Structure 1
Amino acid sequence: MSAGAEPGPRDRLLEAAGRLLYSEGVNVGVDALLKAAGVARRSLYEHFGGKAGLIVEVLRRSAAEDEADYRRTMDAAGDDPRDRLLAIFGRLGEVVAEPGFRGCRYLAVDLGLADREHPAHAVTRDYRRRVHDLLEHELRALGHPRPARAADQFQLLIDGTLAAGATASAPAPASAARDLAERILTD
């Protein structure tokens, strides 16, 4: 795309859906999505086959971005697996403090879509598996005696941090989660 060129309907749909699905949830109406994107209904069906396909593509994109953010965060912490794992909670502290933070988009999708066969659930499962694999890899490098179990525990801490951050149910949830993560690392 050249400088100054207007994004096409597909890109406008993705941008609007990313914003609205996060701020309003997966049950946001198609008409609201179309209006926010400034596109005709036909564009939604041509590019994504419908709302379900649009949700899936938004999740795929955000999952790739979020996984890359985990990797950048860990890489910035250096080579020590312990430092790399604990850096995640520093980053989560920044994320939950951002204006407009509404929690974990993947958990929101899983809770918001009652149809367990909805294709979005496959995307959220795959994303969680990839994050688990990242965590488990670091735990193995650290020499943790139960890396898979510890990765499960880290994922619970991450989910809890994001949930508590969205509901403001706990002050500094990332800091509290980091303290618990340190205990997991010493097991």
Structure 2
Amino acid sequence: MTTRVLPGPRERLLEAAKELTYAQGVGVGVDALLKAANVARRSLYEHFGGKDGLITEVLRLSAAEDEAAYERTMRAAGDDPRRRILAVFDWLGEVIEEPDFRGCRYLAAELALADPDHPGHEVTRRYNARIRALLESELRDLDHPRPAHAADQLLVLINGALAVGATRPGTLPAAAARELAEHLLDEGRG
């Protein structure tokens, strides 16, 4: 006979918050989170100090997962930095076409967290800085003449594709962003 171990309250809260904050935004109510996780209010405060702590932890965990997905996508594209960067846009095209796609969790959180001191802002900004650093590293390997500036531009294209993908389904924003990225990358060719 095998014993099935069920996730504890902390894990259930994290999973419920990850799903609900993506589907409904970070403004989702505490009662909805508690109900989805099937935990008492006390568990929220014991494990996270409140909703802000839970939101911040979900953003932190999601950011680590998403950063790893960028890295996997780039590695799978081989050794050519140009191909690795363009692979990001191909992958984003797949992500945007998923039926449960709701846009970028980090952009949505940045816009929804009204308190400028909310700890979630630091998490989203660090995440964006790490993605930008990945892009800049590839651009340096490509010998792009302005790698820092081009990384900023690529990040705008990525965020724009994700935003348009959420607000205008069926418009293929990642393909449009990829085409613009190709022009930006070609700037580095002598």
Q: What TM-score does the superposition give when structure 1 sets the normalisation length?
A: 0.97
**Equivalent position of 1:53 in the other structure:** 53
Superposed CA offset, 1:90-125 (max 9, x none) = 000000000111000000000001111100000000
| Separation in 2, partners of 1:177, 1:130 | 20
Deviation sequence 1:67-105 (CA, Å, 0-9, x none): 000000000000000000000000000000001110000
- Cα RMSD, aligned residues only: 1.1
Structure 2 unaligned residues grouped into runs of 5+: none
Q: Runs of 4 or more off by more than 6 Å in structure 1?
A: none
Amino acid at match of 2:26: V
Distance change (3 Å), C-alpha of 1:136 and 1:3: farther
Identity level (%): 67
Q: Counterparts of 1:28-107 in structure 2 under 5 Å?
A: 28-107=28-107
Aligned equivalents of 1:169, 1:37: Cα separation in 2: 30
Counterpart contact for 1:89–1:174, Cα < 8 Å: yes
Specify the alignment match of 1:8 in structure 2: 8
Partner of 1:171: 171
Instruction: Report the AA paired with residue 133 of structure 1.
Output: A
Q: Deviations over 1:28-82 (max 9, x none)?
A: 1101100000000000000001000000100011000000000000000000000
Residue of structure 1 in register with 2:136 after alignment: 136
Cα distance change of structure 1 residues 151 and 3 upon mapping to structure 2, 3 Å threshold: farther
Alpha-carbon shift at residue 4 of structure 1 (Å): 2.3
* Gap regions ≥5 residues in structure 1: none
Query: Contact between 1:164 and 1:170, CA under 8 Å: does it hold in 2?
Result: no
TM-score with structure 2 length normalisation?
0.96
Read off the aligned partner of 2:99 and give its amino acid letter.
P
Q: Aligned pair count?
A: 186
